[in-house]
Structure 1
Amino acid sequence: MRQAHRRVVFQFDQRYSLLQNQLVGINGVKLAVEWRGRVRTGLGLYFLGSAVPVNAPLPPTVPAEALNRVRFRYAALYGEYVFLGTPRWELSTPVQVGFGRYYHRYESPDGSVYRSPKRNIWLIEPTVGGHMRVFRWLGVGAGGGYRQALLVEDKLEDDISGVVFYGRVKLFLGDLYKVVRGHERLFSQKGLRRADFAPKQ
């Protein structure tokens, strides 16, 4: 049965992209409010696990042999609609729009390092994902989609846009509070078995 009230959802969101033939991780956390088990809206914070090698042109002040890498971090507003599921599992369509800052890190063969001024970056990421609840208050899931960088240098936009896939761990804080407040078993399957939510014949 769908929840008839709001509840708070917190999740760890680990995203990956294959950029310049290198697997790049983007670490993130999200906090959202869910309405009636169907719609979630919230805020996420993300940062690169490692710098991304890019092919964007080097500025004239940087040696031509320098390695060009980019770092960025951003905050994202997101919305998510659950189009299929039960209290145990679900499929949804999360979309997020991010705004942050990025900079280039140029490393020359002699070890010298140059950094560009920080600039603004916009990102949009439509995805499809799903999760399964291990317990009433804990779920694990995965998904995939596409990241599009906006309003940055043309070549850099091509370098850091691409397919994204992710894994996530979700904490349903409202349900965890109810379990603790009600002195229920922390690791029970209450409410998740088919008999708990299937229509009575």
Structure 2
Amino acid sequence: MTTSILPCLSRVSLLLLLGAGRVAYGEVGAPDDSTFVRQAHRRAVFQFDQRFSILNGKVVGINGLKGGIEWRGRWRAGLGVYRLSGGVPTRIAQPVGTPPGTRDEVRFRYLAAYGEYVFIGNQRWELSTPLQLGVGSYYTKYYFPDGGVRRTNREVLFMLEPSVAAHYRVFRWIGLGAGAGYRQALAAGKQPEDEMSGVIFFGRVKLFLGDFIKVVRGHERLFTQQGLGPAH
């Protein structure tokens, strides 16, 4: 009788140990799984996307605002609008007859559709691969010594911007991020003499609108770590 009970107890003990191991390593819904954040519902995400790049040998800022939808905590898609924060001196020879002392600047702006894939992260942080496809225009602006201003015709410009980005949630509803990538510019017509392509690096302030609404509706404290879990 004793010999028949012992193998059964051994099998039960083994099953209990295996079950405990799965829980300990996050195989059964552990909250600290760092593969990615699983969210079954969709939520809106907005970003102030400040980009920097090198244009004609000068570091310039590109101001941007993006809005989109996130689903399953792993995919994002949406639209953004960007513009060069200030004019940059061109490399183009000024037209014949231009008065001495004339200042010229190249400017551009564009609308971008973006997609983003989160390949690792948790409730606190994440690492992702954004890709943007944009279309816009560029032109040259001339400032004459007498105060006059003239602008050339706009030329169509296409942008392809692959990058790698990361962000860290400071609070449940807002996070800070940064990243780097490359901007490839393609002109539809006349090729720009100014160098529009180049390395990009950026900083972000991300507003998680869905979480913000939940915090406000639930009368929760804004500046709290609730819902973020342990930091890793």
If the length of structure 1 is used for normalisation, what is the TM-score?
A: 0.87
| 1:25-68 CA distance string (max 9 Å, x none) | 11010001001110000000111110122324545565698544
If the length of structure 2 is used for normalisation, what is the TM-score?
A: 0.76
1:167 aligns to 2:206 (yes or no): no
Structure 1: distance between partners of 2:221 and 2:127:
27
Q: 102-111 vs 92-101, which deviates more?
A: 102-111
| 1:159-179 CA distance string (max 9 Å, x none) | 111011100000000000111
Q: Tell me if structure 2 keeps the 8 A contact 1:105–1:115.
A: yes
Structure 1: distance between partners of 2:75 and 2:186:
26
1:89 aligns to 2:152 (yes or no): no
Q: Which runs of structure 2 are paired with 1:62-77 in the superposition (5 Å)? A: 62=98, 66-77=102-113
1:153 aligns to 2:187 (yes or no): no
1:24 corresponds to which residue?
60
1:143 aligns to 2:194 (yes or no): no
Structure 1: distance between partners of 2:97 and 2:138:
19
Deviation at 1:130, TM superposition (A): 0.5
Q: 95-104 vs 78-87, which deviates more?
A: 95-104
1:9 aligns to 2:45 (yes or no): yes
Q: 114-123 vs 132-141, which deviates more?
A: 114-123
Structure 1: distance between partners of 2:87 and 2:66:
22
2:163 corresponds to which residue?
127
Structure 2: distance between partners of 1:91 and 1:11:
16
- Identical positions, percent: 58
Deviation at 1:5, TM superposition (A): 0.7
Q: 21-30 vs 48-57, which deviates more?
A: 48-57
Give the structure with the larger strand fraction. Answer: 1
Structure 2: distance between partners of 1:10 and 1:106:
35
| 1:72-92 CA distance string (max 9 Å, x none) | 111110000001111100010
1:34 aligns to 2:88 (yes or no): no
Please give the root-mean-square deviation of Cα atoms over the aligned residues, in Å: 2.2
Q: Tell me if structure 1 keeps the 8 A contact 2:155–2:190.
A: no
- Select the structure of larger CA radius of gyration: 2
1:80 corresponds to which residue?
116
Structure 1: distance between partners of 2:84 and 2:43:
29
1:44 corresponds to which residue?
80
1:182 corresponds to which residue?
218
Q: 108-117 vs 87-96, which deviates more?
A: 108-117
Deviation at 1:180, TM superposition (A): 1.1
Q: Tell me if structure 2 keeps the 8 A contact 1:103–1:116.
A: yes
User: Given residue 154 of structure 1, which amino acid in structure 2 is its aligned partner?
Assistant: Q
Corresponding residue SS for 1:160:
coil
Corresponding residue SS for 1:50:
coil
User: Given residue 80 of structure 2, which amino acid in structure 1 is its aligned partner?
Assistant: G
Structure 1: distance between partners of 2:190 and 2:103:
17
Structure 2: distance between partners of 1:61 and 1:2:
64
Query: Gaps (5+ residues) in structure 1?
Result: none
Query: Gaps (5+ residues) in structure 2?
Result: 1-36
Instruction: Tell me the matched-pair count.
Output: 195
